[in-house]
A and B are shown apart, each in its own frame.
Chain A
Amino acid sequence: MWSLALTTLLHDRGKLVTALVGVVFSIVLVNTQGGLFLGFVMRASLLVDHSRADIWVGHKHMHNVDFPSDIPRRWLSRIRGLPEVRRADPYLVGWADMALPSGGYESVVVVGVDPGSLLGNVWNVQDGTPEAILQNDAIIIDRCEVEKLEGIRLGEVREIGGRRARVVGMSEGIIGFLVAPYVFTTYDRAAAYTRKPADRCSYFLVKLEPDADPRQACAAIRHRLPDAEAMPTAEYARTSLDFWMTRTGLGISFGAATLLGLLVGMVMVSQTLYAMVLDRLGEFGTFKAIGAQESQIVTILLVQATTMTLFGTAIGLGVVSAIQYAFSTPRAPIIIPWWLSAGSFVLVLAICLASAYLPYMRIRKVDPLTVLQS
């Protein structure tokens, strides 16, 4: 039955190509749109994802890593006192102005890390090392922000919050969801740049003992500090992401655009399948006259739809890889995780199988008698 379905499918190459184009179009669209979307929204949790911490502790209503509310530093000792906690350090995320050579200012998000653990420090440093922030007045910024910061260079000295800041390293691809560049430095220096009171910080980053359960540790922290919130890193990353998704309608916009493209692709597929069947109604009549069962006719259609999806997906993913290779940049990354590709395949397969239903309804009406009367 498979060979019968495939051979007849391959016969009409023109229509097959049209249907394949539909599938390829849908796969490329879903993956590219989805990849761009992920690349964009994953910036919202960039600091959390790369923090190397197990738990983030912050204000009771913490909802977004870039907009923390201050918490008292004295809470730190209560967290460190928990048996599950191996290490807990203060972390600071705050806003400050960097002076520009032109005389203007640029708002930056200053990230202050504990010099002992360097939890939550900069990563993917291309010029210099992450540990360079331990040097005097050291800051590390991202290469992608050079233009925004009016040609800032390695070794250059600037002012942030009226204090001296020297560029000791440059990372690649650390661009936040906000337009402000990230500036990584040590905790105390960050507090000075942002004029944060010495007894306040933004978060505590916690490393747990190897066999400790993060959820239980979070519960223990919340129990000890009723005014604090504690979340496992993955959960806080999701919370930060959800903040932008739900408050900006971003997900709906991207989703709608993707859905629209998907629909266009699927209309192409279903129309082509239908046209292919219409062209071959007589042949299906012949199958019926010879004695084919309804289930065999359905099998033929499903095999054809599945084959088109498989080939279309394979070609589509090839095109997506090429697009990703050619167009993905640190500023506009296209992130395509395996589950996005797998999900798009399942989605397109489901729609292809559903679109086989329309031609099937047409075939059901074919009377094998027509074969004898023509």
Chain B
Amino acid sequence: MTANHASTNRAEMDVTIRAEGLHKTYGRGSAATPVLRGIDLQVRRGQCVYLAGPSGSGKTTLLSIIGGILSADRGEVCVLGEDLATLAPKQRARLRLNRLGFVFQRFHLIRGLTVLGNVRVPLTLQGVPESQARRRAMELLEAVGIPEKASARPEQLSGGQCQRVAFARALVSNPDIILADEPTASLDAANGQEVMRLLRGLTAEQGRTVVVVTHDQRIFHFADIVYWLENGEVVSSGKPDAVPHPAPVATDRGISQ
């Protein structure tokens, strides 16, 4: 094996997400709306990749397909070496539970559970013993800086604190990939910067891959690569400062196009 071949293989092994020619259409017949039109994407281990673009550009749909929540109509998507099209719904759910961590735009914390209980949910679903799950969840709450809120209820937290809980929940089962959907959309600008700094800090040191769907261009500098989507296509990709995109409009809730 030559040195070139070895480095190519290593690079391929480092690819945690690979999408080729992804197509997705919602609706049928005259109501059919194409959302993704031949998306190609490659994310390496440890990279922080942003999927950005205007509303309706297909960012969340792409994230859903990568997360195994939605299936593509055409094309191939491999996550952590698994071709998602060949996995049964049960297997995709298991992949999500064991190897992916989700952060949702509106946090989606469980109202009936305490902060600690919310962080423990993935471990509970994995069947991790209660004491072990509790210990691990407390570690994560300490990592996100709100251990004192362990017994609080979600409704007693601020938006920033809710997002920290969501991060802790996403990270608690040591996933290989974190998928975050507009993690700063419900936060003000300062909080947005802070939670992204926290997310990068928590993932970078363990070499986790992060895929973030966002509008917020003021957090672009946390990304390694930005994919700019428009009308279901990647119109540009590269380093944050090298990707051409419309100028952001600042609002009191963050950034909009």
Contacts and interface: CB of A to CB of B under 8 A. Distances in A.
Interface of A: 1, 3-4, 7-12, 280, 282-283, 285-294, 296, 367-369, 371-374
Nearest to A285: B108
B231 interface: no
A10 B112 contact: yes
B70 interface: yes
Interface of B: 60, 63-64, 67, 69-70, 90, 93-98, 100, 102, 104-106, 108, 110-113, 117, 121-122, 124-125, 127, 130, 169, 181
Q: Which 4 A-B pairs have the closest CB atoms?
A: A291-B97, A11-B112, A291-B96, A8-B112
A4 B94 contact: no
Contacts of A286: 104, 108, 110
Contacts of B104: 286, 289, 371-372
A282 B63 CA distance: 19
Contacts of A367: 69
A280 B109 CA distance: 11
Contact of A296 (B64, B70, B113, B125): B125
Interface majority SS (helix, strand, loop, mixed), chain A: helix
Contacts of B124: 1, 3-4
A287 to B, nearest CB: 7
17 contacts: A4-B121, A7-B112, A8-B112, A10-B112, A11-B111, A11-B112, A12-B112, A280-B112, A285-B108, A289-B96, A290-B96, A291-B125, A292-B97, A293-B125, A368-B69, A372-B64, A374-B106
Contacts of A292: 93, 97, 125
Nearest to A290: B122
A104 to B, nearest CB: 70
A291 B121 CA distance: 10
Nearest to B96: A291
B117 A288 contact: no
A8 B110 contact: yes
Contacts of B100: 291
A3 B130 contact: yes
Nearest to B108: A286
Contacts of A373: 60
Given A3-B124, A291-B97, A293-B90, A372 B113 contact: no
A281 B219 CA distance: 32
Contact of A7 (B64, B70, B94, B117): B117
A290 B102 contact: yes
**In the complex, which of the residues B96, B98, B127 has the most CB atoms of chain A within 10 Å of its own CB atom?**
B96
Contacts of B98: 291
Contact of B95 (A8, A283, A291): A291
Nearest to B109: A286
B125 A290 contact: yes
Contacts of A296: 125
Contacts of B97: 290-292
A91 B110 CA distance: 73
A183 to B, nearest CB: 66
B112 A372 contact: no
Contacts of A368: 69
B64 A288 contact: no
Nearest to B100: A291
A13 to B, nearest CB: 10
A290 B121 contact: yes
Nearest to B120: A4
B116 to A, nearest CB: 11
A280 B63 CA distance: 24
Contact of A8 (B63, B64, B113): B113
A287 B97 CA distance: 10
A7 B70 CA distance: 30
A7 B106 contact: no
Contact of B94 (A280, A287, A293, A371): A293
Contact of B108 (A9, A293, A371): A371
Contact of B121 (A285, A287, A369, A374): A287
Given A4-B121, A372-B60, A289 B112 contact: no
A372 B180 CA distance: 9
Contacts of B94: 291, 293
A302 to B, nearest CB: 16
A286 B97 CA distance: 12
A287 B122 CA distance: 8
Given A9-B112, A291-B125, A292-B93, 12 more contacts: A1-B124, A4-B117, A11-B111, A11-B113, A286-B110, A287-B121, A289-B96, A290-B122, A291-B93, A293-B93, A294-B90, A374-B106
Contacts of B169: 290
A9 B111 CA distance: 11
Contacts of B113: 4, 7-8, 11
A5 to B, nearest CB: 10
Nearest to A4: B124
B140 to A, nearest CB: 15
**In the complex, which of the residues A9, A289, A293, A374 has the most CB atoms of chain B within 10 Å of its own CB atom?**
A289
Contacts of A3: 124, 130
